[in-house]
Homo-oligomer: A and B are copies of this chain.
Amino acid sequence: MMNAAILGCGTIGSGVYEVIERNQKEIREACGQEIRVKRILDLRQFPGQPFEKLVTPDIKDIVEDPEIDIVVETMGGTKPAYEFVKSCLLAGKHVTTSNKALVAAHGTDLLETAREMHRNFFFEASVGGGIPLIRTLYTGYAGQEIEEITGILNGTTNYILTKMSREGSEFADVLKEAQQLGYAERNPEADVEGYDTCRKIAILASLVTDREIDYQKIHTEGITKIEPVDFRYAESLHASIRLVGSMVRARDGISLLVAPELIPEESPLCGVSDVFNGVLIRGNTLGVTMLYGAGAGKLPTASAVVADIIEIAKHREENVPFGWHEGALSPMPLEKRKGRFFVRVSGSGRESEGMASAALGGAKILHLDGEKEFGLLTGEMTEEAYAEAAARVPGIVKMIRAAV
C-alpha cells in the first residue's frame, strides 16, 4: 500500500480523491497495490465531506509524515506551491502536479531535485488535462525525432472560436456567454491572451528537446482581435481559425509560437471543437498523429493525476528518466520563422490589390460580398520578410498566420 496526500482541496484536488475512491479496483490492478489518501492540505474545513477528517491546514503534517509516499499538488500558482513541493521532494516523497504554472516556472529545479532524491516529479495533468499526452511522448513516440507539435491546448479559447465560427458572433459576446457557463474565468486574460497555451507548449517543447525553455521568450498572441469576418475568409479558404501553440524543428533551431492560425479543414485539428483539446504530433518516421480529449474538467484532469500516481507506485524506489535537464534552449528568433500569412486590406480596386499583391507576393486574393476590403494569402515567407513587405502596403487591417 502507498499513502498519498493532496495539497489543495479545490476542483482538481477533490477530483483526485474521488477518482482514487471510485477506481480502487482498477488502480490496484494497474499497479499491484492499494493507494490511499491519508491527508489533504487545505486552510478550509469540509464538514460532512467523506474526507473531512483527513484535512489539515499544516504542511508539516504531510512533509514530516514518513508514511506519506506520494504528494499530489493541485493548488495552482507558484506560491506556496513551489516551496511545498520542493520540501516534499527533499523529504523523499514523490510528487505529481496538475499545475502548469509551477512546471513552467520551476520544472527544471524540481525535476533535478527529484533525480537527486531518487524520486519522481510527474505532471501529466498539467498539459492537455485528461489527454494521455506527456507519458505517451516517452512510450508511443519513443525513438522518434519529434519534428512538430501543434496543439489546441486551451479549452476556453477553443470554445469561443468554434462558437464564433458557427454562429458568426462577436468575441465579446461569446466570451460573456463562456463566463456565464463557467468555461471562462471572470478575469479571462490568461486564456484569451494565450498565456496558458504558452506555458503548455513550453512544457511540451522542453520534454521533446530535453532543455529548459523560458516560456516568456515565446512570441504569444491571443484571440481578442478575431472578428466574425475573419471566419468568413477562413471558410472561403476551406479553413478554420484556432489558437494553437506550436513547436517546429526547423533548420535554424526550434521555432515556437502561440497565435491564432488558419487551420485547413482536412487537418484533424479542425475536428477539435468546443472545450476539447487536441495535440498534433509529427514524428520523423511515425508521421502525423493526434491525441484528443478533455483539456480540463475535474474528473478528466484528476484521472491524469491518478495515472501519474500509478506510474509512481510502479517505480517506488527509483527515478524514472523523465523531463528535461538544465541548459536553457532559446527559441529561434521569430523573424526567422517561415509560414504563410493571411492579411485583410482595406479598400478595393485593382490598384490597391495589385500593390498589395506585388509587395506581399500574394498567391491568392479573396473577396467577400459586401465588404469594402479584400483578403490576401501570401506564399511561404519568413516573418521578417513579411514584416518588411507589410510595411510597404497601406491599409492592412489584420494579419493571421495560415497553416493552409
The interface of chain A, by Cβ under 8 A from chain B, is 18-19, 22-23, 26-27, 30-32, 124, 130-133, 135-136, 138-145, 266, 268, 270-273, 276, 283-294, 297, 299-300, 302-304, 306-307, 309-311, 321
Taken together as a complex, chains A and B put the C-alpha atoms of A145 and B30 apart, in Å, by: 11
Contact B130 A307 (CB under 8 A): no
Q: Knowing A26-B145, A142-B311, A266-B273 are in contact, say whether A287-B292 is a contact too (CB < 8 A).
A: no
Chain B residue with Cβ nearest A301:
B286
- Closest B residue to A276 by beta carbon equals B268
| Alpha-carbon distance between A383 and B308 when the two chains are bound, in angstroms | 40
Question: Using Cβ atoms and an 8 Å threshold, which residues of chain B touch A299?
Answer: 285-287
In the complex formed, the residue of B with least CB distance to A132 is B140
A293 B287 Cβ-Cβ under 8 A = yes
Given A136-B136, A307-B140, the answer on whether A22 and B287 have CB atoms closer than 8 Å is no
Interchain CB contact under 8 A, B303 and A283: yes
- Rounded to whole angstroms, the CA-CA distance of A289 and B131 in the bound complex is 7
| Cα A124 to Cα B139 with chains together (Å) | 11
Known: A19-B143, A135-B139, A143-B310. 15 other contacts (CB 8 A): A18-B285, A22-B285, A26-B144, A130-B287, A132-B136, A136-B140, A140-B307, A141-B307, A142-B310, A283-B303, A285-B306, A286-B299, A286-B303, A289-B291, A291-B292
* Nearest opposing residue in chain B for A137, CB measure: B132
| Contact status A288-B283, CB under 8 Å | no
**In contact, B293 and A292 (Cβ under 8 angstroms):** no
Identify which of A30, A288, A303 gathers the most chain B CB atoms within 10 Å of its CB: A303
CB closest chain-B residue, reference A286: B303
Q: Please, which residues of chain B bring their CB within 8 A of the CB of A26?
A: 143-145
Chain B, residue nearest A307 (CB): B142
Asked if B273 and A300 make an inter-chain contact with CB atoms under 8 angstroms apart, the answer reads: no
- A266 partner residues in chain B, CB cutoff 8 A: 273
A336 to chain B, nearest CB (A): 24
Residues of B within 8 A of A131 (CB): 140, 289
16 contacts between A and B (CB under 8 A): A23-B284, A27-B142, A30-B143, A31-B142, A32-B321, A130-B289, A132-B139, A132-B289, A133-B140, A135-B140, A143-B309, A144-B303, A270-B271, A285-B299, A288-B293, A290-B293
CB nearest to A277 among chain B residues: B289
In the complex where A271-B270, A285-B23, A286-B293 touch, is A132 in contact with B143 (Cβ < 8 A)?
no
* B285 x A300 contact (CB < 8 A): yes
- State whether A23 touches B303 (Cβ < 8 A): no
Q: A255: shortest Cβ distance to chain B, in Å?
A: 20
Which B residues are CB-close (under 8 A) to A143? 19, 23, 26-27, 30-31, 303, 306-307, 309-310
Question: Nearest chain-B residue to A298 (Cβ)?
Answer: B285
A235 to chain B, nearest CB (A): 16
Q: Which of A26, A131, A276 gathers most chain B CB within 10 Å?
A: A26
CA distance A136 to B144 in the complex (A): 16
What's the Cα separation between A266 and B297 when bound, in Å? 20
Q: In the complex, what's the smallest C-beta–C-beta distance from A385 to chain B, in angstroms?
A: 33
- Is B300 within 8 A of A286, CB to CB? yes
Interface contact A139-B294, CB-CB below 8 Å:
no
CB-CB under 8 A from A30, the residues of chain B are: 138, 142-143
Cα distance, A291 to B290, chains bound together (Å):
6
The residues of B that contact A321 with a CB separation of less than 8 Å are 32
| Chain B residue at smallest Cβ distance from A288 | B293
Closest chain B CB from A157 CB (angstroms): 18
Which residues of chain B are within 8 angstroms of A297 by Cβ–Cβ distance? 287
Residue among B284, B294, B304 making CB contact with A288, cutoff 8 Å: B294
